[in-house]
Chains A and B, each alone.
Chain A
Amino acid sequence: MLERVNATGLTPSFRPLRIYWERLRRGDEIAHVLTLIFASTVIGVTALLVYQLWIQSALSRQKFGWAFFATRVWDPVGGQFGALPFLYGTVVTSAIALLLAVPLGLGTAIFLSEFSAKRISDALAFLVDLLAAVPSVIYGLLGIFVLAPLLRVWVEPVLRSQFGFLPFFRGPAYGVGFLAAGLTLAIMVVPFIVSVSREVLISVPREQREAALALGATRWETISRAVVPFAKTGILGSVFLALARALGETMAVTMVIGNDPKISASLFAPGYSIAAVIANEFTEATGSLYLSALIELGLVLFLLTFVLNGLARLLVLATAQRGGLLE
């Protein structure tokens, strides 16, 4: 500040305005104001969204209170609404998706960045980015016409006969259901994990790899104990991205989850998710309580995404602390 004032050589009384003008001319201030406006827009839109969800769901919130979260019944005719089956469906399908997609995606990313030839890696990365851009309805079709029959005829009977002692793998094989939705979601989010993790792994500095190799680490030790730990935060970022997508995915899930507001331990059984029920029932929601309940579901989804992301971030902080990354 001082230097700049001295440089302009102005009398003291004119300083602030002239400095401001000077900065404006240099583009500093314009850039500052413009980016500030953009940033506030983002915050503003988010606030507006929450506000709208909040007031439009007033009716439902007043009628059901906290019980909304614990009620299993969804009965538009009888005017009884509870979020539990949808919460359950959303969480279970996202969990299945991540459980399948994280090892698959991370493994692929490690192969592409560490083992495959650069040409193959680049070509596959391009393909993966394409997959990430495929509209979800296409994945829904894949789910309905390929995955669901496959699950019904092959996978679910085999799982039942081998792992039937677990409550998840009991009951009749419907094809459509939690497992089908989770699997479809897994296929949808794998490209995100692969694409981001590959980039992060590739950008691990060569010095880090060389440090491990020079200590006599094998290639795998270098990858698992130097490269991946270095890239940990970025890889977790890709998992959050995948989680966010899985939680909010609407179209593909609606097509394969069975759309039945039930809570079943069996993954073969049909269920419902928050996003799916909003999309399906919004147009036919007669009565203000019904509509209000759907909007409250939207609020719940928003909060769920918020809370899960927050938890994930806390997890990262905790592991970073243990790894000595932070003081």
Chain B
Amino acid sequence: MNGASIVQKHQNLEPVHLGQKDIPLVELPIGTIKPQFKISNLKVSYGAKEVLHGVDLDVFANVVTALIGPSGCGKSTFLRSLNRMTEVVRGTQVEGEILLDNENVFRMDVVKLRRRVGMVFQRPNPFPKSIFDNVAYGLRINGHHDSLSEAVEHSLRRAALWDEVKGQLHKSAYALSGGQQQRLCIARALAVNPEVLLLDEPCSALDPITTAKIEELLFQLKSSCTIVIVTHNMQQAARASDFTAFLLDGQLVEYQSTRKLFTTPSDPRTEAYITGRFG
């Protein structure tokens, strides 16, 4: 699918329903949603192997955008380009343009960019420190040393973990269960108040109850930040996101409001994928 028709798709977007399940739907005309990220012609290669072949996509502010697609199609790569984590891997080349609030991310100070665009990884990766120190990590390297406890509590509450860990904040993060560790990583990312939160399959190792908690969390978070989530779980994308982008072999196939993509996909490949006929 070429760039022109994707732009067309954007214009075709129907009024968006910002809401889910039995929560009252809010109808918003397309004009009131502003793009936070504008990505054009993004190409990423590892060495000689190009894995994203020119992706154009706008990520809208204060909504949840889901990235779906078969394994190896480049979802993680796409996500990691947004906060330039691609640069951590040697031999990676990134081409194209990514604007964050109309500012070119490749000309920004990478440290500042990553403070604005937080990330939660597929596998929970807490530091071998106490729960408190994990959440406070980002604050400390940002030079905040006062009222850390309030900030830590606030972040843990936002990540729906506070009730489970209060009173044992000095305990090792490694003593937590996988789901708790993942929420700890979310709290750690939230502590620095990012404008955008990137989540790479945050629920892949979690049970349904914890998954539901995290989805609930996403819903609450989007009033204060923009969320991009990679998921292999179609139900999750359908439940928890407002927009969905379908990637296939490094190409953007379809980008729609979630409701439309899952009910009336306009590309036969999308339909094949969401109905489980390939991938």
The proximity string for B residues 231-260 relative to A, scoring 1 for CB distances below 8 Å and 0 otherwise, is 000000000000000000000000000000
In the complex, whether A265 has a CB less than 8 A from a CB of chain B is no
The proximity string for B residues 114-132 relative to A, scoring 1 for CB distances below 8 Å and 0 otherwise, is 1100110101011111110
In the complex, whether B170 has a CB less than 8 A from a CB of chain A is yes
A52 CB, min distance to chain B CBs, angstroms: 43
A44-B185 Cα distance, complex, nearest whole Å = 49
In the complex, whether A221 has a CB less than 8 A from a CB of chain B is yes
Contact A216 B111 (CB under 8 A): yes
Contact B185 A211 (CB under 8 A): yes
Contact B88 A210 (CB under 8 A): yes
A57-B137 Cα distance, complex, nearest whole Å = 56
Among listed B13-21, B171-179, B214-222, interface-contacting one: B171-179
A226-B85 Cα distance, complex, nearest whole Å = 17
Which residue of the partner chain B has the closest CB to A209?
A: B88
Which residue of the partner chain B has the closest CB to A222?
A: B141
B64 CB, min distance to chain A CBs, angstroms: 19
A217-B189 Cα distance, complex, nearest whole Å = 12
In the complex, whether B277 has a CB less than 8 A from a CB of chain A is no
Contact B137 A212 (CB under 8 A): yes
A236 CB, min distance to chain B CBs, angstroms: 14
Which residue of the partner chain B has the closest CB to A323?
A: B129
Residue in B123, B131, B142 whose beta carbon sits within 8 Å of that of A207 in the complex: B123
In the complex, whether B35 has a CB less than 8 A from a CB of chain A is no
Q: Given A210-B85, A324-B172, A326-B172, check contact A216 B127 (CB 8 Å).
A: no
A90 CB, min distance to chain B CBs, angstroms: 35
A206-B112 Cα distance, complex, nearest whole Å = 21
B137 CB, min distance to chain A CBs, angstroms: 6
Contact A214 B172 (CB under 8 A): no
Contact B88 A216 (CB under 8 A): no
Which residues of B are found within 8 Å of A208, using beta-carbon distances?
Answer: 125, 127
The residues in B between 124 and 176 inclusive whose CB is less than 8 angstroms from any CB of A are 125-131, 133, 137-138, 140-142, 170-175
Q: Given A205-B125, A208-B127, A324-B130, check contact A214 B118 (CB 8 Å).
A: yes
Contact A324 B129 (CB under 8 A): yes
The proximity string for A residues 177-214 relative to B, scoring 1 for CB distances below 8 Å and 0 otherwise, is 00000000000000000000000000001111111111
Count residues on chain A whose CB falls below 8 Å from chain B CBs.
24
In the complex, whether B83 has a CB less than 8 A from a CB of chain A is yes
A207 CB, min distance to chain B CBs, angstroms: 4
A208-B88 Cα distance, complex, nearest whole Å = 12
Q: Given A210-B125, A211-B127, A213-B88, check contact A327 B171 (CB 8 Å).
A: yes
Contact A327 B175 (CB under 8 A): yes
Which residues of A are found within 8 Å of B141, using beta-carbon distances?
Answer: 212, 215-218, 221, 225
Q: How large is the interface on B (under 10, 10 to 19, 20 to 34, 35 or more residues)?
A: 20 to 34
The residues in A between 60 and 119 inclusive whose CB is less than 8 angstroms from any CB of B are none
A221-B141 Cα distance, complex, nearest whole Å = 7
The proximity string for A residues 40-59 relative to B, scoring 1 for CB distances below 8 Å and 0 otherwise, is 00000000000000000000
Which residue of the partner chain B has the closest CB to A215?
A: B138
Which residues of B are found within 8 Å of A216, using beta-carbon distances?
Answer: 111-112, 114-115, 138, 141-142, 192
In the complex, whether A229 has a CB less than 8 A from a CB of chain B is yes
Which residues of B are found within 8 Å of A7, using beta-carbon distances?
Answer: none
Which residue of the partner chain B has the closest CB to A221?
A: B141
In the complex, whether A325 has a CB less than 8 A from a CB of chain B is yes
Which residues of A are found within 8 Å of B130, using beta-carbon distances?
Answer: 323-324
In the complex, whether A230 has a CB less than 8 A from a CB of chain B is yes
Which residues of B are found within 8 Å of A229, using beta-carbon distances?
Answer: 127-129
Which residues of B are found within 8 Å of A324, using beta-carbon distances?
Answer: 128-131, 133, 170-173
In the complex, whether B183 has a CB less than 8 A from a CB of chain A is no
B136 CB, min distance to chain A CBs, angstroms: 11
Residue in A207, A215, A327 whose beta carbon sits within 8 Å of that of B137 in the complex: A215
Contact B188 A215 (CB under 8 A): yes
Which residue of the partner chain A has the closest CB to B120?
A: A214
Which residues of A are found within 8 Å of B171, using beta-carbon distances?
Answer: 324, 327
Contact B121 A207 (CB under 8 A): yes
A130-B85 Cα distance, complex, nearest whole Å = 37
A43-B127 Cα distance, complex, nearest whole Å = 37
A315-B132 Cα distance, complex, nearest whole Å = 23
Which residues of B are found within 8 Å of A221, using beta-carbon distances?
Answer: 141
Which residue of the partner chain A has the closest CB to B188?
A: A215
Contact A323 B111 (CB under 8 A): no
Which residue of the partner chain B has the closest CB to A320?
A: B128
Which residues of A are found within 8 Å of B137, using beta-carbon distances?
Answer: 212, 215, 225
Contact B118 A230 (CB under 8 A): no
Of B111, B174, B192, the most chain A CB neighbours within 10 A belong to: B111
B186 CB, min distance to chain A CBs, angstroms: 12
By Cβ-Cβ distance, the 7 closest A-B pairs, closest first, are: A324-B130, A216-B115, A207-B125, A215-B138, A214-B119, A216-B114, A324-B172
- 30 residue pairs of the A-B complex, CB under 8 angstroms, read A207-B121, A207-B123, A207-B125, A208-B125, A209-B88, A210-B88, A211-B125, A211-B185, A212-B141, A213-B88, A214-B83, A214-B119, A214-B189, A215-B141, A215-B189, A216-B115, A216-B142, A217-B141, A218-B141, A221-B141, A225-B140, A225-B141, A229-B129, A230-B128, A323-B130, A324-B131, A325-B128, A325-B174, A327-B172, A327-B175
